[in-house]
């Protein structure tokens, strides 16, 4: 099955700086890569996703890049704010009929210091 590796496990940045989280995946059949943000005690919430026919996607301060050849994708957060502090999870989705399954990375605890 798919294996998703996520780095770093913790990340501390100063408010206003950029944060980058990187993930790699193993199954070349994966073609859907969402990122979730989970605040303490809350549900994981989708913040951005990318599909394998796209190399980059941006939504305001958040961007995701995908390199299918190298099997890695990254989350970029610019102009970080204290409310960006949370655990971020990357995931990879299977192709085919099993549409509901995602393989998750272990998460990155992002702390933004004011």
Partner 1 sequence: KAGVTQTPRYLIKTRGQQVTLSCSPISGHRSVSWYQQTPGQGLQFLFEYFSETQRNKGNFPGRFSGRQFSNSRSEMNVSTLELGDSALYLCASSLVGTGYSGNTIYFGEGSWLTVV
Closest CA to 15 of 63, 79, 60: 79
Which position among 31, 65, 109, 111 is part of the footprint of partner 1 (CB under 8 A)? 31
Which position among 11, 104, 109, 111 is part of the footprint of partner 1 (CB under 8 A)? 104
Residues near 46 by beta carbon (within 8 Å), at least 6 away in sequence: 34, 35, 36
Residue 101 contacts partner 1 per CB under 8 A: yes
Q: Which stretch binds partner 1 (CB under 8 A): 20-28, 41-49, 58-66, 76-84?
A: 41-49
Entry field: residues in the chain: 114
Asked if the bond preceding 28 is cis, omega within 30° of 0, the reply is no
Q: Tell the residue number behind the tokens 């204290």, with chain if given.
A: 82
Nearer to partner 1, 15 or 39 (CB): 39
Q: Which helix or strand (DSSP H or E) is residue 109 part of? A: strand 108-113
Nearer to partner 1, 100 or 114 (CB): 100
| DSSP letter (8 states) at residue 99 | T
Q: Which stretch binds partner 1 (CB under 8 A): 18-26, 59-67, 75-83, 94-102?
A: 94-102
Q: Which residue ranges make up the site for partner 1 (CB under 8 A)?
A: 31-32, 34, 36, 42-46, 49, 51, 89, 91, 93-107
């Amino acid at each position: 099955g798919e294996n998703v590796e996520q780095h770093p496990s913790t990340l501390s940045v100063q408010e206003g700086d950029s944060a980058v989280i990187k993930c790699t995946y193993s199954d070349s059949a994966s073609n859907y890569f969402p990122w979730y943000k989970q605040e303490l005690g809350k549900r994981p919430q989708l913040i951005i996703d990318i599909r394998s026919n796209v190399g980059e996607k941006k939504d305001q301060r958040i961007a995701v890049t995908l390199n299918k050849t190298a099997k890695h994708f990254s989350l970029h957060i610019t102009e970080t704010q204290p409310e960006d502090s949370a655990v971020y999870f990357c995931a990879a989705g299977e192709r085919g009929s099993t549409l509901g399954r995602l393989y998750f990375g272990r998460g990155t605890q992002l702390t933004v210091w004011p």
